[in-house]
Amino acid sequence: MIELQHVSKKYLLKKALDDIDVSFPIGKIIGVIGENGSGKSTMLKLIAGLLQPTNGEVLIDEKHADRKISTKVAYMSDIDQFYPFFTVNQLVDFYESQFQDFHREKARDILRLMHIEGDEKIKHLSKGNRGRVKMAVTLARNAPYILLDEPFSGLDPMVRTSIVQGMIQYIDLQSQTLIITTHEINEIEALLDEVIVLRKGKILGQQSTEDIRMEYQISVVDWMKQLYEGRTKYE
């Protein structure tokens, strides 16, 4: 389980997260949603160990994430981060050399599913296809926690649903947890177990998607809107 206890993060004077308490149990697919600048990416970077909290603790399986990147976390950034002169195959080799939990065959399967050729250079790929490669090499890690920051940005709406469905078959929910930040809520609502809504660095709500559907009988987007408008309260 990942736990954030009283976590705040300040960038100079800007408070990106403000005294957050939240936990992410194993075996769930959890969406982190909220308006631009609400703190979603900051939350993932803190879990990945790329940032340190200004206050509070980040615990991964009860261990403090002390100033190092946990091997238990596979993190996909929302920015383009690959060496442009690598081919896709060279990138796969590189990932294999860097991560003990990397499964080469799994990476190849996912790339095939996403229609990406191995001998293509990264710099020649479209933005959407670079996004698919990023997703493939992250999902090919057998880490207990997979964090995807905006995985669907740049993907055209026609393929989003099939990519989302395809991606899920590579997650083993007996042993893995998937945490996704996204603005594409409608596309992934069906596969989310839980959602966390952020606003201005605070948690506005955390709820199972089943409860949202059964209890409120509305979509996740409408639930989020209600929270933002103060029509639904979160205790």
Ligand X SMILES: Nc1ncnc2c1ncn2[C@@H]1O[C@H](COP(=O)(O)OP(=O)(O)OP(=O)(O)O)[C@@H](O)[C@H]1O
Identify which of residues 20 and 65 has a Cβ nearer to ligand X in the complex. 20
Question: Between 102 and 201, whose beta carbon lies closer to ligand X?
Answer: 201
Q: Rule CB under 6 A: is residue 11 a binding residue for ligand X?
A: yes
- Using CA atoms, how far apart are residues 78 and 162, in angstroms rounded to an integer? 20
Identify the residue among 13, 14, 85, 217 touching ligand X (CB under 6 A): 14
Q: Where are the alpha helices (DSSP H) in 14-156?
A: 40-48, 88-98, 104-113, 127-139
Q: Which residue has the tokens 């993060």?
A: 9
Max intra-chain CA distance, the chain: 53
Closest to ligand X by CB, 49 or 91:
49
How many residues touch ligand X under the rule CB under 6 A: the total is: 11
- 232 lies in the binding site for ligand X (CB under 6 A): no
How far apart CA 131 and CA 145 sit, in angstroms, is 19
Contact pattern from residue 22 through residue 61 relative to ligand X, giving x for each residue in contact according to CB under 6 A and a dash for the rest: ------------x-xxxxxxx-------------------
Least gap, CB of 16 to ligand X (angstroms):
3
100-133 per-residue burial string, b: 16 or more CB within 10 A, e: under 16: eebbeebbbbbbebbebeeeeebeebeebbbbbb
13 sits near ligand X (criterion: CB under 6 A): no
Nearest to ligand X of 92, 188 (CB atom):
188
**Smallest gap, in angstroms, from Cβ of residue 171 to ligand X?**
22
| Edge-to-edge strand ranges of the sheet holding 177-181 | 73-76, 145-149, 177-181, 29-34, 194-199, 202-208
User: Which one, 135 or 140, has the nearer CB to ligand X?
Assistant: 135
**Token code pair at residue 164:** 């989302």
Collapsing DSSP states into helix, strand and coil, what is residue 125?
Answer: coil
Binding mask 83-122 for ligand X (x = CB under 6 A): ----------------------------------------
**Residue among 110 and 138 whose Cβ is closer to ligand X:** 138
Burial of 233 (0-12, 13-18, 19+ CB in 10 A): exposed
- Report the nearest approach of ligand X to the CB of residue 219 (Å): 19
Site residues (vs ligand X, CB under 6 A): 11, 14, 16, 34, 36-42
